[in-house]
A and B are shown apart, each in its own frame.
Chain A
Amino acid sequence: MNQNQQQQASDGRHDDDAALSDFLASLMDYTPTIPDELVEHYLAKSGFQCPDVRLIRLVAVATQKFVSEVASDALQQCKARQAAVVKDKRDKQQKDKRLILTMEDLSRSLREYGVNVKHQDYFADSPSTGVDPASRDE
């Protein structure tokens, strides 16, 4: 029984190794959205040395996966928020349907990944901006 388990484990490991080598070989043909040159630049900036293109693409894929996860989380936030709003105002549905990556959604989704994003909610050009025009005249 124990031998069987070991056999299975070794088979599983063998399968994993084969899958890993297949995946690495497939990276040679895959072009990530983040270009190789950019990844190389940032890797070299941090002291990472590797002549293998596959590893560089692996880093690119990992980063791409991270970014797309964050973005899709933010998209879910955006959709949920819109679904809540749309119930009330049916007429504005078409206008609000546009999916826009906002700071609000992004900071919420990034908080789940351990990144705290603080942003200024509102900028004013001058002290009188946003004040009622009637009161400004006085």
Chain B
Amino acid sequence: MKAKPPSKPKTHLHLNQEEPQKPSEFSFAIARIAVSQICQSVGYKATQLSALNALTVVATKYLEAIAKSASSLANTSNRTQSNLLDLTLALHHLVTLHTSTLFSISSSGGGIIRDLADFVSFHDEIPFAKPIPRPQITSIPSWATSSSSFSHVPKWLPRFPDGVISCSVNERKCGERLWEDSVLGGGGIETECSTSSSNVIEQEKLKEGKLELDLERTEKVRFRITTTRGRGGGGLRMVCREEKRVCWNHHYNNKNITNNSINDDDVLDDDDDDQSNGIFDDEGLKKSGSKRKRR
């Protein structure tokens, strides 16, 4: 064996000198103390620092592997909390990875907990060197801490802000209300649309106008055959509007055709006016009707 270096690191000396800053370093330092205690109980007098670090990393990975396996087993059973069965299965998976061969898995299948029980009974109890202060939990207040009547909300969810629960859900920001409230409150549609009553009146006007228009349309000509702008009245063009009763004003058409092109333009302009005013404008229609009558 090689001669030992003069500055052989001693575990208990070095552990006290370091001041871990991050929580991961803190937990790692604690795990290192625990692992060094285990090594001491096995019979070691000193360790290399690198060997102790490596063993601590392996131990923490072992812990995390157990936890991951157990939690994933619980999650596959639609649970969030792991129970003894998950833990036993996880330990079984992990222990068979490093101890059993394929042959001995079946023979020593369920003996893991028994091995642990033997370990506990045969080994001396070595508590941790120092008591660890519990970290002050200043996390988000959860449903578990608050006494609430919302039994359907899971406990791991954070609590609602206080203002949300106190104010009614039905009160909205812009003065809007839910449809159910407006109907069940007896108001009906009128109360619902009270804020926009002028709009309703307009709509009603429009409806009435449309009705009047329809009544008027039954009497008046909606399809007109006019000449195109081309001279001589060679081609006839049909100006088609809504689907209305087709009415042929022969006299008017004949008169138009016989007229000169300025009159044709006039008729077309009239038509354009109607289009621009829209179908709800009955005054324009009447004007055009009177124009036509005049002609």
Q: Which residues of A contact B (CB under 8 A)?
A: 16, 19-20, 23-24, 26-27, 30-31, 33-35, 37-39, 41-43, 45-52, 55, 58-59, 61-68, 70-72, 75, 81-82, 85, 96, 98-103, 105-107, 110, 112-115, 117, 119
Contacts and interface: CB of A to CB of B under 8 A. Distances in A.
Closest 3 CB pairs of A and B: A46-B67, A101-B47, A48-B67
B127 A70 contact: no
A52 B74 CA distance: 15
Interface residues of B, number: 60
B98 A42 contact: no
A118 B178 CA distance: 68
Contacts of B47: 100-102
A103 B54 contact: yes
Contacts of A19: 114, 117
A48 B82 contact: yes
Given A45-B64, A100-B47, A20 B127 contact: no
Contacts, number: 179
A101 B51 contact: yes
A74 to B, nearest CB: 8
B183 interface: no
B268 interface: no
A26 B115 CA distance: 14
A70 B71 CA distance: 25
B52 interface: yes
B71 A46 contact: yes
Interface string B62-85: 111011101100100000111110
